[in-house]
Structure 1
């Protein structure tokens, strides 16, 4: 029987399982992944949701209420966090400790047929997950609007993100870290303090130079022609990294399988991002899929701008 209903669609994707199979072998890694997916399915069922199908290392689920879906997403993140913490205490392999979860949710009209679900809300959630960083939950504006005021305050707006198959950008919100952790901290200490809030960021790749002000963020760096900053190199993912504006600073989040690398000017240190984030400050270079030190690597130079420097440099 075919039904058309307003539903909350959830896609959840477990990252890092490839390394898990390399470290543990097929049998043990399969057991860990199956157990983890089971925890996710239980969190969904506990909140009245229905798992529509499993998708390799992830799943798709639907809920009647966006609030229940949000609670389930938080529960899934917490379940994985406990699993990884237990593994760390017991000396588990690096593969287990590297497991991460991405969640994307949308709300809208869904066609339910033969146990499966179809429609625009399904397509948006399925493609939005490509833009989620490690342990991040992204939701559409339609879903965010249906949450309570207290729940809405847990999110920050990412404004419009270009999603594959959509002509217009999708207004997206990101759930803030549940325990107050700073997802944009670097391993090399705090970001240098500045009394002046940046006005924009300049990106340069080969002969392409663009300046983005804070109102234009977030922007996606990637090989897709729909990316705000397109890098046509085979080593670059379609949606490789995302630059956000949050709390007065620019944040780079890696979205790829090959990683991103940041080297700040004046520092010999190289920051490797694997589905994680860092704060961009000053000037530097971003290697997409390869280190900036490698010959012919796809490297985007960046410069955080203040009001006097927002115009492109003269050639």
Structure 2
């Protein structure tokens, strides 16, 4: 029987399970992944949702209202931490397994226990743009929340999702209830002045981003904030934003994003992860800085006070 329903569609996916199998072996890794997916399904039910199907290392679920989906996403992130905490080799598990969640709200077609429709397609594509331990949603999900819960979301502007002609307004759920996953090479206790902007330069295209200009999406799509025309660059490849008092770059791609700071040989490889940007360096999209042909964006974190005239007294 076919039914047309208004539903919040949630996709959740565990990433990093392949590395987990390599590090822990088939039996233990399979146990961790199976336990994690089963717990996520249990959470869906406890939050008033329905699991439509499991998808390898993740699942698809629907909720009558957005609030249930948000509660489930929060609990999933917290529960994944509880699964790995305190267990043997928990550090390995915690490092390997990351959870991405994406939600959209709208009309769905329910047929023979499965669901179809634009909201399903948007949520599935939005999952591709989620970083490690992130929950992404659409405007329609926010419209169904109360003011308190809407305040937990931050706009990521519009993203070009695969298979859609029009970009979609996307929001990220504040991660206050689970740990941050941002990597940084900056060490030391010397206080640094708060940066005011960040300059990005690719070939002859140089732009400075600050304040309302952020977040900035780097990608091949003409709708990207900073368009980089190279076949190795995804349509929405990476995101530069101001978060927690620092500039951060987050990988959104399949081919990875690579960061190298000026004066350092080490390359940070981001696979759906994030990195704090400081000083100067390069961001390479889809290829490592060791490849001389890599699409390379030079970055320079700016303090505008350095450009102000000073007294000669």
Q: TM-score, normalised by structure 2?
A: 0.84
- Contact kept in structure 2, 1:11 and 1:105, CA below 8 Å: yes
* C-alpha contact 2:220 2:233 (8 A) present in aligned 1: yes
User: How far does residue 95 in structure 1 lie from its aligned partner after superposition?
Assistant: 5.2
Q: Per-residue CA shift, 1:169-191, capped at 9, x if unaligned?
A: 22221111224755546242379
Q: In structure 2, what is the equivalent of residue 312 of structure 1?
A: none
Q: For residues 25-78 of structure 1, what are the alpha-carbon distances to aligned partners after superposition, in whole Å with 9 as ceiling and x for unaligned? A: 434333322211101101001111111111221111000111111111111111
The 3-state SS of whatever aligns with 1:86 is: coil
Partner of 1:110: 108
Q: 1:286 to 1:304 in 2, by over 3 A?
A: same
Q: Work out whether residues 161 and 219 of structure 1, in 8 Å CA contact, stay in contact via their aligned partners in 2.
A: no
- Per-residue displacement from partner, 1:235-285 (whole Å, max 9, x unpaired)? 544543222234564321122355322222344554333322123334310
Describe the SS at the equivalent of 1:33.
helix
| 2:13 matches 1:2 | no
The CA distance in 2 between the partners of 1:182 and 1:206, in whole Å, is 33
Which one is further off, 54-63 or 222-231? 222-231
Q: Hey, what's the Cα distance between the residues in 2 that align with 1:149 and 1:298?
A: 42
Of 282, 297, 301 in structure 2, the residue corresponding to residue 300 of structure 1 is 297
1:197-208 aligned at under 5 Å gives the runs 197-198=196-197, 201-208=198-205
Identify if the C-alpha distance between structure 1 residues 196 and 263 changes in structure 2 by more than 3 Å, giving closer, same or farther.
closer
Residue 279 (structure 1) aligned with residue 276 (structure 2): yes
Counterparts in 2 of 1:101-180, with a 5 A limit?
101-179=99-177
Cα separation, 1, equivalents of 2:98 and 2:180: 16
- What's the counterpart of residue 261 of structure 2? 264
Rate the CA distance shift 1:275–1:84 in 2: closer, same or farther, 3 A.
farther
**What is the RMSD computed on CA atoms of the aligned residues?**
3.0
Indicate conservation of the 8 Å contact 1:177/1:183, yes or no.
Answer: no
3-state SS of 2:86 partner:
helix
Unaligned runs of 5+ in 2: 307-313
| Distance (whole Å) between structure 1 residues aligned to residue 253 and residue 85 of structure 2 | 24
Cα 1:92–1:281, aligned 2, differ >3 Å: closer, same or farther? closer
Show structure 1 runs of 4+ deviating over 6 A.
306-309
Please state how far the C-alpha of 1:166 moved relative to its aligned partner.
2.9
- How is 1:68-107 mapped onto 2 (pairs within 5 angstroms)? 68-87=68-87, 90-92=88-90, 94=92, 97-107=95-105
SS at match of 1:188: coil
2:26 equivalent to 1:26 = yes
Q: Aligned pair count?
A: 306
Q: What is the match of residue 310 of structure 2?
A: none
Identify if the C-alpha distance between structure 1 residues 95 and 289 changes in structure 2 by more than 3 Å, giving closer, same or farther: farther
Following the alignment from structure 2 to structure 1, what is the Cα–Cα distance between the partners of residues 274 and 158?
19
Cα deviation for residue 158 of structure 1 reads: 1.5
Q: Is the 8 A contact 2:184 2:277 kept in 1?
A: no
